[in-house]
A = this chain, B = another copy of it.
Amino acid sequence: MAALLDGDQHELDPLERQVVAFFVDGVRVLGLPRSIGEIYGLLFVSQTPLSLDDLVLRLRISKGSASQGLRMLKSLGAVREAEGGAERRTYYEPAIELKRLAGGFIREQIRPHLESGKAKISLLAETARDVDDPERRKFLGDRVDRLETWMRSGGRVLPVLQKLLGQ
C-alpha cells in the first residue's frame, strides 16, 4: 500500500534539497537543463553511488529524464559508472575534480560552437568578397577580420582556462 500522508521515505531531506537547488542554479548559468543539475546535485551529496531508479524515485523525475540526463552527464565526463558492485543495475558517482568538469564542458559545449563559428565566418567572408560597392566591401572585410580575431582569441584562451582550472 502507498504510504499515508505522502510520508515517503524517498523525499529529499532539507540539506539534500539545498544542494540540489544549488546545482540547478549552477547548470542554468551554463545553459544546461534543470534535470542535469538535479541529478548531478543528488549524486554530489550522496555518500554512495546511485542507480537510475534511485534518481527517479528520489528526485521524482521520469525515467526518460533520468536516462537522458545521465547520458549527457557521462558525455560531459561529470559522472562515471561506479566500479565493483557485481549487481545487475549500474550505479553512478559524480566526478568532482574541477579540471575534469571544465574539460568536459569545454570539449562538448564550447569547442564545437567555436569550430562551427569559424566555418560560418569563412562563408561570410566569401559573401562579403562578392559585394559590388567597393566601400561597402572594404567595411565588411574589416568586420569579418574582426570576427576572425575573436575566434583566434577564443581558441587561445581555452587551453589556458583548462590549465588554470586543473588545480
Contact = CB atoms under 8 A, between A and B. Distances in A.
Contact of A45 (B26, B44, B140, B160): B140
A12 interface: no
B29 A146 contact: no
Interface stretch (A62-70, A80-88, A117-125): A117-125
A167 to B, nearest CB: 7
A147 to B, nearest CB: 8
Interface string A121-161: 10110011001000010011001001101100100110011
A165 interface: yes
A121 B15 contact: no
Nearest to A142: B96
A7 interface: no
A19 interface: yes
Contacts of A147: 22
Interface string A16-51: 001100100110011100000000000011010000
Given A15-B127, A31-B31, A117 B164 contact: no
A61 interface: no
A156 B164 contact: yes
Contacts of A157: 161, 164-165
Interface of A: 14-15, 18-19, 22, 25-26, 29-31, 44-45, 47, 96, 98, 109-110, 113, 116-117, 120-121, 123-124, 127-128, 131, 136, 139-140, 143, 146-147, 149-150, 153, 156-157, 160-161, 164-165, 167
